[in-house]
Chains A and B, each alone.
Chain A
Amino acid sequence: MGIEQLPPGWLLILGALLIPLLRGRMKAIWLLAVPAAGLVHLVFFVPDGSGMVASMFEYDLVLVRVDSLARVWGTIFHIAAFIAALYALHLKDDVQQVAAFLYAGAAIGAVFAGDWITLFVYWELTAITSVWLVWASGTERAIRAGVRYLIVQVGSGVLLLAGVILHVRQTGSLEFTNLGGVNDAASLLIFVAMGIKAAFPFLHNWLGDAYPEATVTGTVWLSTFTTKLAIYGLARAFPGEALLIPIGAAMTAFPIFFAVIENDLRRVLAYSTNNQLGFMVVGIGIGTAASINGTAAHAFADILFKSLLFMSMGAVLFRTGTCKASELGGLYKSMPWTCAFCIIGAASISAFPLTSGFVSKSIILTEVSNAHFAVVWLLLLFASAGVFHHSGIKIPYFAFFAHDSGIRVKEAPLNMLIAMGIAAAMCIGIGVFPGPLYALLPNQPETYVPYTLPHVVTQLQLLLWAALAFSVLNWYRIYPPELRSTNLDFDWVYRRAGPAVVSACGRLITSVQHAAVTVAQDGLVWAIERVHRHHGPQGLLARTSPTGSLALWVAILLGAVLVLYFT
């Protein structure tokens, strides 16, 4: 088998198996070389088209299908894996390193899956490998969050499989391709399965629940793969599905309210992940060639700036032991580099000119505007101001500035700084030179021009006036203070209401059973009393006659027979 036939992702999966055997410098080199080799393999060796067809019963499994859409995700997944591996290089925990590599490999494999069954296998593999990154925190809280995460993720896979089985029965085709919208039970099941991983409204809580509980380095891995794989799946199977437009618009707008009042800064980032996914979902829903390009470009950009933000907050957590806004502040004095990188990530997610968000998100907004969806457009604009508020300002402000918490720590370790530096350089590089990213997009030619005078001016007006709003509210002490708290979200339904309903049902069943037993016992007592009355010692039916009286009666009968016989 030639190297060009090796499926993308398998280098990471096979490479993961060697990690526990290596030590010291060799291990560090291996951890960086494997994702780098995977990227080189994908870009220079893997040809377009389908490969590795395996037969299963009467169906053909296409293990590898390479096209321009898959290449966008494959490329950025490899880059993100390299950056995350570098960020986690200091880690002395084989379980996390192996799990992370298997997870990344599975996600890449899923992107290049050509049929639904192969996709399903990788889909579940991402779930069962990534949960170890949550569990590796080792706290009771993390273990519980990990279990909830695993249930949701595996559940998504089960729905996917159910939908696929129905789909194959109806169409006889296993090809992982455009389903032409949500129009029957099969496509609905697949849609919901993908919606869970893409964190649709009411299906989103696993994200804010599990990501902040994962380890410092684990969250960086998690932030890249699962949700963006789901976006890829939606872009592949449901482009132009109109349902995605309101769903995506809701996703951009509602998490920002939670992000404003959330104290755990990694949870704030989880909410902003949700918000950014919304933009991508809207892009898929619009479904034009340009809007799919916008989604692909924004997924690419988002993976970089979201990793960067999670890395900077991870570095803060690593050094100070907390990621709570109420405990932090003034860290720019002791972690200036981390602070600078965080600000670059914050500017990128806010789509400031000269950063990656500016050249990617605006493609989607332009397409919404071209389609004349005024309400959706206004919601996305509101969400753009909102994301600047909670991720662009709140994250750097409360961690690195605000009031000085008195915390003095060392700057983040060198490997973390280099990883953040690479991500930051890419955020700015894409923002300044969007050409290479646009050339990678699935629908060519991509002719969007981000740097026009009106675009730059209006975007600066929007963002700086949003910054002014933050400053004014802070200046007059109207801005809500950061408080140690838990904010209820939809997960309350299954973490509190669900168990409460179950235990109420339990109590109801117990009392019904108790009542039933009482009624049954009373009935039984009544029956026994009746029987006792008639058959008891005083009962009519229970009178015993002596044996002698029977003999007398037999004698009388015999006598009567004798008399009759002889007469």
Chain B
Amino acid sequence: MTVDPTDSTDPNDSTASTDQREPPRWLDAFENVRKVYQWLWAVCLLLLVGGEGLLRWAHHRSQQAGDTHHAFAFESWPGFYALFGFIGSVGLVLAAKELRKLLMRAEDYYGD
């Protein structure tokens, strides 16, 4: 659905703010979207490796200070949080996708 720029909820206050020949945006180019995607991979990998190093260092220091460590053993598995976040999210989406087969109905299913 496209909305006519002159047609909106409040007729007094809704003219298009940009003219028809708007300048292209940085994100409009597919190469740039690819760049964002690749950067995210880079940041995530760095966070996994570097973060693991930082965590070991902090853990070591708190042990020296006589601090108790993780409440759960699995928290200290390497990359636990990152992999949990990744696998949990993929699982969530795939399960929700399957759920759709069971639950999805037409928009006017309830008749109103």
Q: How far is the CB of A403 from chain B (nearest CB, A)?
A: 11
Docked complex Cα distance between A472 and B86 (Å): 10
Q: Check A410–B15 contact: CB distance below 8 A.
A: yes
Residue-wise interface mask of B (71-95) relative to A, using a CB-CB cutoff of 8 A (1 in contact, 0 not): 1100100010111111111101111
8 Å CB contacts to B: which residues of A295-328?
317-322, 327
Docked complex Cα distance between A214 and B99 (Å): 27
Q: Check A458–B17 contact: CB distance below 8 A.
A: no
Q: Check A386–B88 contact: CB distance below 8 A.
A: yes
CB closest chain-B residue, reference A389: B89
Q: Check A462–B18 contact: CB distance below 8 A.
A: no
Tell me which of B14, B59, B84 contacts A381 (CB under 8 A): B84
**Neighbouring A residues of B8 by C-beta, 8 Å:** 319-321, 409-410
Residue-wise interface mask of A (482-507) relative to B, using a CB-CB cutoff of 8 A (1 in contact, 0 not): 01111111000001100000000000
Q: Check B55–A458 contact: CB distance below 8 A.
A: yes
8 Å CB contacts to B: which residues of A371-411?
372, 374, 377, 381-382, 385-386, 389, 401, 404-411
| A468 contacts chain B at the CB level, 8 A cutoff | yes
Docked complex Cα distance between A140 and B14 (Å): 26
| B31 contacts chain A at the CB level, 8 A cutoff | no
Q: Check B48–A461 contact: CB distance below 8 A.
A: yes
| Interface 9-mer from A231-239, A473-481, A555-563 | A473-481
Docked complex Cα distance between A333 and B90 (Å): 30
| A85 contacts chain B at the CB level, 8 A cutoff | no
Q: Check B58–A453 contact: CB distance below 8 A.
A: yes
**Neighbouring A residues of B14 by C-beta, 8 Å:** 319, 409-410
Q: Check B44–A464 contact: CB distance below 8 A.
A: yes
| A547 contacts chain B at the CB level, 8 A cutoff | no
CB closest chain-B residue, reference A334: B17
**Neighbouring A residues of B51 by C-beta, 8 Å:** 457-458, 460-461
Q: Check B85–A372 contact: CB distance below 8 A.
A: no
Q: Check A468–B41 contact: CB distance below 8 A.
A: yes
Q: Check B84–A487 contact: CB distance below 8 A.
A: no
Most buried by A among B86, B99, B100: B86
Q: Check A480–B93 contact: CB distance below 8 A.
A: yes
Residue-wise interface mask of B (9-28) relative to A, using a CB-CB cutoff of 8 A (1 in contact, 0 not): 11001111110001001011
| A369 contacts chain B at the CB level, 8 A cutoff | yes
| B66 contacts chain A at the CB level, 8 A cutoff | no
| A256 contacts chain B at the CB level, 8 A cutoff | yes
Q: Check B3–A401 contact: CB distance below 8 A.
A: no
Q: Check A409–B3 contact: CB distance below 8 A.
A: yes
Tell me which of B3, B25, B40 contacts A333 (CB under 8 A): B25
Q: Check B110–A466 contact: CB distance below 8 A.
A: no
8 Å CB contacts to A: which residues of B48-75?
48, 51, 54-55, 58-59, 71-72, 75
Q: Check B1–A486 contact: CB distance below 8 A.
A: no
Q: Check A466–B37 contact: CB distance below 8 A.
A: no
8 Å CB contacts to B: which residues of A90-114?
90
CB closest chain-A residue, reference B61: A453
Q: How far is the CB of B16 from chain A (nearest CB, A)?
A: 5
Tell me which of A260, A333, A457 contacts B18 (CB under 8 A): A333
8 Å CB contacts to B: which residues of A449-467?
452-454, 457-467
Are A466 and B88 also in contact (CB < 8 A) when A333-B25, A457-B51 are? yes
Docked complex Cα distance between A374 and B94 (Å): 24
Q: Check B9–A318 contact: CB distance below 8 A.
A: yes
Docked complex Cα distance between A256 and B40 (Å): 24
**Neighbouring A residues of B2 by C-beta, 8 Å:** 405-407
| A141 contacts chain B at the CB level, 8 A cutoff | yes
Are A480 and B100 also in contact (CB < 8 A) when A408-B16, A470-B89 are? yes
Q: Check A458–B81 contact: CB distance below 8 A.
A: yes
**Neighbouring B residues of A317 by C-beta, 8 Å:** 9
| A469 contacts chain B at the CB level, 8 A cutoff | yes
| A41 contacts chain B at the CB level, 8 A cutoff | no
Docked complex Cα distance between A406 and B54 (Å): 45
Q: Check A461–B47 contact: CB distance below 8 A.
A: yes
Most buried by A among B75, B81, B95: B81
**Neighbouring A residues of B40 by C-beta, 8 Å:** 464, 467-468, 471
| A370 contacts chain B at the CB level, 8 A cutoff | yes
Docked complex Cα distance between A435 and B72 (Å): 28
Interface residues of A, Cβ cutoff 8 Å to B: 90, 140-141, 144, 256-258, 260-261, 317-322, 327, 333-334, 369-370, 372, 374, 377, 381-382, 385-386, 389, 401, 404-411, 413, 452-454, 457-473, 475, 478-480, 483-489, 495-496
Q: Offer 8 A-B interface pairs, CB within 8 angstroms, sorted by A.
A: A258-B99, A261-B103, A369-B71, A389-B92, A409-B3, A461-B79, A470-B93, A487-B104
Minimum-distance CB pairs A-B, first 8: A469-B89, A260-B96, A465-B85, A462-B85, A461-B81, A369-B71, A466-B85, A461-B82
